[in-house]
Amino acid sequence: MPNSKSTLKTSQANTTSSEAEILALRKEIEQLRLEKAAAFDRLNVQEAIHKNFGESQSRFEAIFYQSVLGQKIIAPDLRIMQVNESLQQMMGYSKAELVGTRITEFAHPDFVRDWQALQKKLWEEQIPSFQIETCLLKKDGTSFWCQVTSILFQDQDATLGFTIVENIDKRKLLELKLKKLYDNQETIMHMVAHDLKSPLNNIMLAARLLKETLEEPETKKQEKDEQIFSYVNLISETSDSALHLISELLLIGEIESRYATLEQTDLKDYIQFHLNSLRVDAERKGISLLFHHSGKPVFAAIDRSKFRWVLENLLSNAVKFSQENGQISLTLKEEGDKKVLQVQDNGIGIPAELHATVFQKFTKARRQGTKGEPTTGLGLYIVKQIIEEHKGRVWIESQADAGTSVFIELP
């Protein structure tokens, strides 16, 4: 028989080994429980994150798509990745027409550099946000002023620009009105300080000399009569000059304060009608006034009141700078969808070095007429303002001593 003591020891050793194994198993089970709890915690955190992300995404989409402001997301190459309904309505394009294109494709040609500056500031210099005031083109070809604010944000591995577009046409219109008011004040001060001061001084001088002459005793009647006539003539001429200045000043004020009311008008009949009342000055200098046209109606949208000022200024200039017995011709024609009016004279012309300034206010190109007629330097400036208000353009072709042609192109 085995020794009882030996068997007891063996049993105790086995018991101790089993207890150790059980303890190890318990530790392993506890570790697994802790890991399981941690896994559940991580899962709950991930679910919370996913839930929060989903809620944030929903809030973002609600703000993005329902905002009354135009909004878009752009890539570093200025490619449009997403747009909201407000921006589509603002620009007149559908989502399909905008997404995938570059915003520079819709920039007014004069303002493409604004977007290049925004691109540089955000993605090269890494400025968190950047703002510009720029001009965008609508699908119908018109343009509008907008304030653009773009903010950088991370989307996975890409850095994109969340961009808000606000139409600021009304504010820009107010700024333009304020500028025009300032320009008008500047014009008034300029004319009072320079152009009106001289004729008024001449009138005062002539009136004083006339008074002194009339007070002289009756000796040399013929000589006295000649002096009186010369003083009266000076008063008459300088008064005409002052009145012309005041008229053009008032004209500028009216042009810039009243919006153009455009009406479809047959330019052929319109010009023919007004030429009859504009021939007087030409006839005084023996200048023939010709009107060339195809005989067919040529329709354009014009403000009939303002466009008369265009005709008056162009013909007045042509008569003023033409020699006696010269010729002025008006030519009306259609070139595609454009209507072109050319006013041509064979007068003294304009030197090439003055061409760049002829449409400026108080241009340095102004000169006296061929018979000493005064000029304010405002005629072509007024013409340009009116034609641009009609969305047209005006330019000249001229050489010294070879006459001048003024071209007007209307849509």
- The string of pLDDT tens digits covering residues 221-252 is 666 677 777 777 777 767 766 766 676 666 66
Q: Is the pLDDT of residue 1 over 60?
A: no
Mean pLDDT of the chain: 78
Last residue of a domain, one of 167, 200, 215: 167
The pLDDT of residue 255: 62
Last residue of a domain, one of 43, 66, 89: 66
- Asked if 124 and 190 sit in the same domain, the reply is no
Residue with tokens 């219109």: 173
Q: What is the CATH number of the domain that holds 105?
A: 3.30.450.20
Distant-in-sequence, close-in-space partners of 318: CB < 8 Å, separation ≥ 6: 328, 343, 344, 345, 347, 404
- Asked if 252 and 120 sit in the same domain, the reply is no
Pair 100, 73: CB distance under 8 Å? no
Residue 245's nearest CA partner among 382, 356, 355 is: 382
Decide which of 22 and 300 is more confident.
Answer: 300
Neighbours of 338 (CB within 10 A): 13
Pair 70, 84: CB distance under 8 Å? yes
Neighbours of 376 (CB within 10 A): 19
The pLDDT of residue 185: 63
- Asked if 393 and 275 sit in the same domain, the reply is yes
Distant-in-sequence, close-in-space partners of 312: CB < 8 Å, separation ≥ 6: 278
DSSP reduced 3-state for 166? strand
Phi, psi of 299 (to 5 degrees): -95, 140
Pair 64, 71: CB distance under 8 Å? yes
- Asked if 265 and 368 sit in the same domain, the reply is yes
DSSP symbol at 349: -
Neighbours of 43 (CB within 10 A): 10
- Asked if 202 and 305 sit in the same domain, the reply is no
- Asked if 295 and 377 sit in the same domain, the reply is yes
Q: What is the CATH number of the domain that holds 352?
A: 3.30.565.10
Q: Which residue range(s) make up the domain with 331?
A: 260-411
The pLDDT of residue 53: 47
Kindly indicate the confidence band of residue 256, based on its pLDDT and cuts at 50, 70 and 90: low
Q: Which long-range contacts (CB under 8 A, 24 or more apart) does 294-300 make?
A: 294/333, 295/268, 296/268, 297/266, 297/268, 297/269, 298/266, 298/267, 298/268, 298/332, 298/333, 298/334, 298/339, 299/264, 299/265, 299/266, 299/267, 299/339, 300/264, 300/265, 300/267, 300/339, 300/410, 300/411
Last residue of a domain, one of 25, 41, 66: 66
Q: Is the pLDDT of residue 78 over 90?
A: yes
- Asked if 314 and 177 sit in the same domain, the reply is no
Decide which of 375 and 173 is more confident.
Answer: 173
Q: Is the pLDDT of residue 93 over 90?
A: yes
- Asked if 265 and 156 sit in the same domain, the reply is no
The pLDDT of residue 92: 92
- Asked if 267 and 351 sit in the same domain, the reply is yes
HSE (CB half, 13 Å, CA atoms) of 387? 24
DSSP reduced 3-state for 263? strand
- Asked if 264 and 411 sit in the same domain, the reply is yes
* Domains identified in the chain, total number: 4
Kindly indicate the confidence band of residue 380, based on its pLDDT and cuts at 50, 70 and 90: confident
Q: Is the pLDDT of residue 61 over 60?
A: no
Radius of gyration (C-alpha) of the chain in whole angstroms: 41
Q: Is the pLDDT of residue 45 over 90?
A: no
Q: Is the pLDDT of residue 16 over 70?
A: no
Q: Is the pLDDT of residue 188 over 70?
A: no
The pLDDT of residue 60: 54
The pLDDT of residue 340: 93
Query: Can you tell me the distance from the alpha carbon of 257 to that of 264, in angstroms, rounded to the nearest whole number?
Result: 22
- Asked if 299 and 159 sit in the same domain, the reply is no
Question: Phi-psi bin for 365: left (phi > 0), alpha (psi -120 to 50), beta?
Answer: alpha
Residue 298's nearest CA partner among 268, 271, 263 is: 268
User: What number is the average pLDDT over the span 48-58?
Assistant: 52
Query: Can you tell me the distance from the alpha carbon of 125 to that of 258, in angstroms, rounded to the nearest whole number?
Result: 46
- Asked if 88 and 28 sit in the same domain, the reply is no
- The string of pLDDT tens digits covering residues 103-156 is 999 999 889 999 999 999 999 999 998 999 999 999 988 889 999 999 898 887
The pLDDT of residue 402: 81
